[in-house]
Structure 1
Amino acid sequence: MGRPRRRTAIVAAVLLVVVGVPVLSALFGGFERTSGGEIAVVRNGGFFDDNKIRQVIDPGSGRVWIGLYSQVHKYPAQQRFYTITSEARKAERSGVDVVTVPSSDGVSMGIEGTLYFTLNQDHTALKNFDDKYGTRKFRSADGKTFNVYDGDDGWSAFLDQIVRPVIDNDLRSQINSFRCAELVSSCALVQNSSAPKTAQAVGQQQAQSNNANIAKVQNAINTSLAADLEQTLGGKFVTNIHFNLVRITLPDKVQDAVDRAQAAFAQVSEAQAKVATAKAEAAANQARQNGYNKCPTCARIEELKALPQGITVYAPGNPNGSLLRGK
């Protein structure tokens, strides 16, 4: 009697481990919740279920039942950004990341900026987004592949492969409608001109115009990006789009030419200052001499004031020396 009972107990324990643990795990895993900064799309994943979308869990939810073995795709619910910059630590891509586009007069210009946007949290739009992009992988700049819902790495890979080409194309279209000097004042220093101007004159006359042109570029990009992203993505999946153009840089050779031109203007300014100083000193000396001619006594007084300390005898007519010091 003892052995059968013991054998039954062992079999029951094995069954409990083999069957009970997975069942309990599935039951506890059938609940899910989201934090305040994420929204989730739930897909069926049971043995006898299809893989269609089951539900959407809004940000900051409590625990909700999502079914056994369901798949949860969590997406960011707060504002996101995509940065293009030459500073490797801040760029989305590794290394130096600048969009290089030509101006209307053929000067290659490096564009740096940041795109701000928010994922559309409308449930219908979010379900369509998950159908289109949550069911595939994206390759990041370093060659690895991720799902779009795989945290920051997955989101960056999606932006880099799908959104970045749209940004590049819009920047190219807008920058190409302006001349280099209309966006960067210093371009005027090294481009052909019938009446060359000083660096100061160029800066004073074009700084305000350049700011206005950069604002036009930003506004145009914000408008075109919204339409182009909707068309490229196949739906209005991102909202509150805003591109902030941070900096426009010139190619190294062009920048070197600008630096040389500015240095040359600085040397000219320095020489002009020396000439002005010399003229002022000459005019002062001439005025002083005219005063002495009209007042010889005044000239003699100035001579006495200029004598060194300790002089006791002053003999201007003495050929052996006019100054004698006292002992």
Structure 2
Amino acid sequence: MAENESSAARGSRRLQRRTAIILAVALVLVGGPTLSALLGGYERTGGGEVAVVRNGGFFDDNKIRQVIPQGSGRTWVGLYSKVHRYPAQQRFYTITSEAKKAETSGVDVVTVPSADGVNMGIEGTLYFTLNQDRAALRAFDDKFGTRKFRGGGGDTYYPWEGDKGWLAFLDQIVRPVIDNDLRSQVNSFRCAELVSSCALVQNTSAKPRQGAQAQSNNANIAKVQTAINTSLAADLRSTLGGDFLTNIRFNLVKVALPDRVQDAVDRAQAAFAQVSEAQAKVATAQAEAAANKARQDGYNKCPTCARIEELKALPQGITVYAPGNPNGALLPKD
């Protein structure tokens, strides 16, 4: 009887252990993800970002749930929700030939033709801010946050996937608008009206004054920049389908000539420098000849003056001077 009870007790303990193990495994398998989901249901934003939250639960739709403003505290966003983070501070998009400063690797210049057909390299920077209005952020995420854009390396990103995603969005959506605005504005000016040295390699009958030409170039570049700032905001609003970008300002930094045209300008400037040097030498020779002629005319009118000049030109220490004698000038012996 005691043996039967002992066997029953051992079986009961084994059953309890198995039950405890099963419960522990179930707790790990179920409780762990549940706890993780609960803890992950809270989000917050930094000082330079805003977030658009979309539902992502097993039984939820994928619609926008809420918008979290920048610099928020811990906010409940629901279980398995997706958070799309966007920049909240002023951003810029730089177009420059200096690879270290450009937004993309390598040379990045907008090449547009002038009114007289010269391709000109335009460099500048676009400054803007993403609209922080909640309705605008919702519309922006619906329109652009749900699709991917191809980056410079060929990979595709959502615009909320860090700097690479944001840059891919700017390259594919914003950059073509900038290029088009620059093309339409620069095309209304001749090359020499934006870069004065361009006149050196173009057929022209009139030589502009250097000071006036430089002033005209600066004024024309300012006109291009003003026109771009006026048209760019409207064009971006039309292209994006809403006022998603605000405080738009474009700084036109540089207008450069193509390498071949610039080489021709350099050669022309070198040639002009040589001509100027030759003209200076001619002018110097003419001045010396005129001075010699005037001096000789004076000697012809005053022979005594000529003798006096000859005496002044003699070395110091002359003891005998006999004009006409080969040995007419004798120096004292040491």
Give the TM-score of the pair, scaled to structure 2: 0.89
Task: Note if 1:274 corresponds to 2:270.
Answer: no
Range with greater deviation from structure 2 (11-20 or 138-147) = 11-20
| CA deviation string 1:3-29 (max 9, x = no partner) | 233223222221221111111111111
User: Who is 1:217 aligned against?
Assistant: 224
User: Who is 2:181 aligned against?
Assistant: 170
User: Who is 1:134 aligned against?
Assistant: 145
Counterpart CA distance in 1 for 2:48 and 2:317 is 87
The 5 Å alignment of 1:50-129 reads 50-129=61-140
Counterpart CA distance in 2 for 1:149 and 1:219 is 31
Range with greater deviation from structure 2 (78-87 or 317-326) = 317-326
User: Who is 2:8 aligned against?
Assistant: none
Runs of 5+ in structure 1 lacking a partner?
none
Task: Note if 1:233 corresponds to 2:240.
Answer: yes
Range with greater deviation from structure 2 (96-105 or 114-123) = 96-105
Q: 1:325 to 1:29 in 2, by over 3 A?
A: farther
Structure number with larger C-alpha Rg: 2
Give the conservation status (yes or no) of the 8 Å contact 1:311–1:326.
Answer: no
Counterpart CA distance in 2 for 1:110 and 1:203 is 23
Superposition deviation, residue 313 in structure 1: 5.9
| CA deviation string 1:257-316 (max 9, x = no partner) | 222221222112112222222233334444555566677676566555555567666555
User: Who is 1:161 aligned against?
Assistant: 172
Task: Note if 1:180 corresponds to 2:191.
Answer: yes
Range with greater deviation from structure 2 (38-47 or 270-279) = 270-279
Superposition deviation, residue 81 in structure 1: 1.1
Counterpart CA distance in 2 for 1:156 and 1:219 is 25
Give the conservation status (yes or no) of the 8 Å contact 1:137–1:147.
Answer: yes
Counterpart CA distance in 1 for 2:23 and 2:17 is 10
User: Who is 2:36 aligned against?
Assistant: 25
Range with greater deviation from structure 2 (309-318 or 87-96) = 309-318
Amino acid in the other structure paired with 1:324: L
Give the conservation status (yes or no) of the 8 Å contact 1:313–1:325.
Answer: no
| CA deviation string 1:224-253 (max 9, x = no partner) | 111111111111100111111111122222
Give the conservation status (yes or no) of the 8 Å contact 1:140–1:156.
Answer: yes
Give the conservation status (yes or no) of the 8 Å contact 2:95–2:124.
Answer: yes
Counterpart CA distance in 2 for 1:13 and 1:315 is 135
Q: Which residue among 48, 56, 78 is the counterpart of 1:37?
A: 48
User: Who is 1:49 aligned against?
Assistant: 60
Counterpart CA distance in 2 for 1:252 and 1:143 is 29
| CA deviation string 1:59-78 (max 9, x = no partner) | 11111111111111110011
Q: Secondary structure at the match of 1:17?
A: helix
Give the conservation status (yes or no) of the 8 Å contact 2:321–2:328.
Answer: no
The 5 Å alignment of 1:184-195 reads 184-195=195-206
User: Who is 1:148 aligned against?
Assistant: 159
Counterpart CA distance in 2 for 1:90 and 1:203 is 32
Counterpart CA distance in 1 for 2:82 and 2:68 is 12
Amino acid in the other structure paired with 1:271: A
| CA deviation string 1:51-99 (max 9, x = no partner) | 1111111111111111111111110011111111112222223322211
Counterpart CA distance in 1 for 2:13 and 2:317 is 132
Give the TM-score of the pair, scaled to structure 1: 0.90
Give the conservation status (yes or no) of the 8 Å contact 2:320–2:328.
Answer: no
Amino acid in the other structure paired with 2:224: V
Amino acid in the other structure paired with 1:137: K
Range with greater deviation from structure 2 (263-272 or 149-158) = 263-272
Counterpart CA distance in 2 for 1:118 and 1:312 is 95
Counterpart CA distance in 1 for 2:188 and 2:52 is 42
- Residue identity (%): 80
Task: Note if 1:244 corresponds to 2:255.
Answer: no
Give the conservation status (yes or no) of the 8 Å contact 1:315–1:323.
Answer: no
User: Who is 2:331 aligned against?
Assistant: 324
Range with greater deviation from structure 2 (50-59 or 262-271) = 262-271
Amino acid in the other structure paired with 1:21: G
Amino acid in the other structure paired with 2:326: P
RMSD after superposition: 2.2
Q: Secondary structure at the match of 2:78?
A: coil
Amino acid in the other structure paired with 2:110: V
